[in-house]
């Protein structure tokens, strides 16, 4: 691949084309190789200039951006298209990804945001040449129904009774560890804390679209499809993909428990393992995660406030008729001089402690660097080996149950009792 990213700008407005060029003129790794005023000209320019990335407007005469994107997907599959539009809503977002776009950015946009989007799209270019597709597949015969996929992935919810117990650190490192341990499996980490989620910070990754945007798509008539999902998940170098939290709590759309259950059920069909980092509060996302989860990892610390709240959490899970044998209790931040034993904690909570993770001086350092703790040197980071053990425990727990016995929850099959039952009702 060339050192500089070759970019083609497509917009019917000359001032907009010039403005976009000015936004990128100080980016040393980006080269503007051409311009086009509509989709038809863009297709010819792509054939002639072979750009890495196309910045494509939607509403243009002669041929609109979505039609051109769809055609380029077949004729020039190596070239990545970023849809650039003033229409910033879920409908246009989904249509863009359905057409084959690598990303969708809304105007107005800063130079830094645009450059980051171009770099993300560039990373999607395959290392080996991709042959153009011969054409669309033939339509199925009338009455044909797509068979239900035999494979269903697994949702693992990571819960904590309060903030500060290390729940996000556990969720992130569990996801990265699952991707390392099973490289043939697809792993997704979902930030279930819509207002103050931090999985992107923990992995030094940002996404333009969030889990809330995807959840809203499930409520639309067309629903959510694989192309739209693939366009909004954020890849990480560890092999996992992320659905991050909204960047601004003020912009979080209204997301119901039903939307989140639909989302989790759909994610099961696309990924082998879906790790959900929940918020430390009884909200709709937590309810949906519990309704969809095949396993729960409950994270607590050996402090009385955390243990008291954990006991309340277990009481609510029992009232919600969740299968308690599918819960792993994890004791985090255990100091060497801790006076409360795991056995005493298990007796207090009525659940045995499955695993202890020691207080690790490198934990905060790795978070500040955006580096997974589980990938550090175990000789310097005492939490690494227990985190790796947690990965194996979760995998063995899931794989011990035949896949046919794991059923995707319907929107109606939620608990009827307890606080979760109340939150789950529409």
Domains of the chain with CATH codes: 5-123 (3.40.50.2300), 154-424 (3.40.50.300)
CA distance 64 to 35: 15
Tokens of residue 267, six digits: 């994610």
Tokens of residue 294, six digits: 């095949």
14: helix, coil or strand?
A: helix
Cα 65 to Cα 33, 122, 263, distances in angstroms: 19, 19, 28
Largest CA distance in the chain: 75
Residue 382: CB atoms within 10 A of its CB come to: 17
CA distance 329 to 332: 10
Average pLDDT over residues 113-126: 87
pLDDT at 127: 67
Condensed to tens digits (0 to 9), the pLDDT of residues 14-57 reads: 999 999 999 998 898 999 999 999 999 999 999 999 999 999 99
CA distance 248 to 413: 32
Residue 229: CB atoms within 10 A of its CB come to: 22
Condensed to tens digits (0 to 9), the pLDDT of residues 99-111 reads: 888 888 888 888 9
pLDDT at 2: 52
* DSSP state letter for 25: T
Q: Could you give the dihedral angle defined by the CA atoms of residues 339, 345, 348 and 351, in that order, rounded to the nearest 10 degrees?
A: -170
pLDDT at 413: 43
Average pLDDT over residues 196-222: 82
CA 228 to chain centre: 12
Tokens of residue 222, six digits: 């067309």
Condensed to tens digits (0 to 9), the pLDDT of residues 148-205 reads: 444 589 999 999 988 899 999 999 999 999 999 888 899 999 998 888 889 999 999 8
Condensed to tens digits (0 to 9), the pLDDT of residues 223-255 reads: 778 888 888 888 899 999 999 988 877 767 677
State yes or no: pLDDT of 415 exceeds 80: no
Helix, strand, coil % in the chain, rounded to nearest 5: 40, 15, 40
* DSSP state letter for 37: S
Tokens of residue 47, six digits: 């054939």
CA distance 378 to 308: 32
CA distance 275 to 348: 28
Percent of the chain exceeding pLDDT 70 equals: 85
Average pLDDT over residues 1-12: 84
């Amino acid at each position: 691949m060339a050192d500089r990213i070759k970019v083609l700008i497509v917009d019917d407005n000359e001032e907009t084309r010039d403005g976009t060029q000015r936004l990128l003129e100080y980016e040393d790794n980006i080269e503007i190789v051409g311009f086009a005023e509509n989709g038809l000209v863009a297709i010819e320019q792509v054939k002639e200039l072979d750009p890495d990335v196309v910045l494509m407007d939607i509403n243009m005469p002669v041929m609109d951006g979505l039609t051109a994107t769809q055609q380029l997907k077949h004729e020039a599959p190596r070239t990545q298209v970023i849809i650039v539009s003033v229409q910033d809503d879920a409908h246009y977002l989904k249509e863009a990804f359905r057409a084959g776009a690598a990303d969708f950015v809304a105007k107005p946009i800063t130079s830094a945001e645009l450059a980051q989007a171009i770099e993300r799209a560039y990373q999607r270019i395959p290392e080996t040449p991709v042959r153009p597709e011969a054409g669309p597949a033939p339509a199925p015969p009338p009455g044909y129904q797509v068979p239900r996929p035999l494979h269903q992935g697994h949702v693992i919810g990571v819960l904590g009774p309060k903030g500060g117990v290390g729940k996000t650190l556990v969720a992130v490192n569990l996801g990265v560890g699952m991707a390392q341990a099973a490289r043939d499996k697809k792993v997704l980490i979902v930030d279930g804390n819509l207002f103050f989620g931090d999985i992107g910070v923990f992995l030094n990754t940002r996404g333009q679209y969030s889990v809330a945007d995807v959840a809203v798509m499930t409520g639309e008539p067309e629903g959510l499809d694989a192309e739209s999902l693939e366009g909004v998940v954020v890849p990480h170098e560890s092999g996992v993909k992320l659905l991050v939290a909204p960047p601004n709590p003020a912009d979080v759309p209204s997301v119901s428990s039903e939307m989140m259950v639909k989302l989790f059920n759909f994610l099961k069909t696309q990924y082998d393992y879906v790790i959900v980092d929940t918020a430390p509060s009884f909200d709709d996302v937590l309810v949906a995660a519990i309704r969809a989860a095949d396993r729960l990892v409950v994270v607590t610390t050996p402090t009385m406030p955390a243990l008291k709240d954990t006991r309340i959490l277990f009481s609510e899970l029992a009232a919600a008729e969740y299968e308690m044998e599918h819960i792993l209790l994890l004791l985090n931040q255990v100091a060497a001089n801790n006076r409360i034993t795991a056995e005493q904690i298990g007796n207090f909570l009525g659940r045995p402690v499955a695993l202890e993770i020691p207080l690790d001086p490198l934990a905060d350092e790795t978070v500040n660097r955006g580096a997974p703790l589980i990938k550090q040197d175990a000789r310097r980071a005492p939490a690494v080996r227990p985190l790796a053990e947690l990965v194996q425990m979760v995998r063995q727990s899931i794989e011990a149950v035949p896949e046919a016995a794991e059923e995707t929850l319907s929107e109606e099959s939620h608990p009827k009792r307890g606080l979760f039952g109340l939150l789950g009702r529409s």
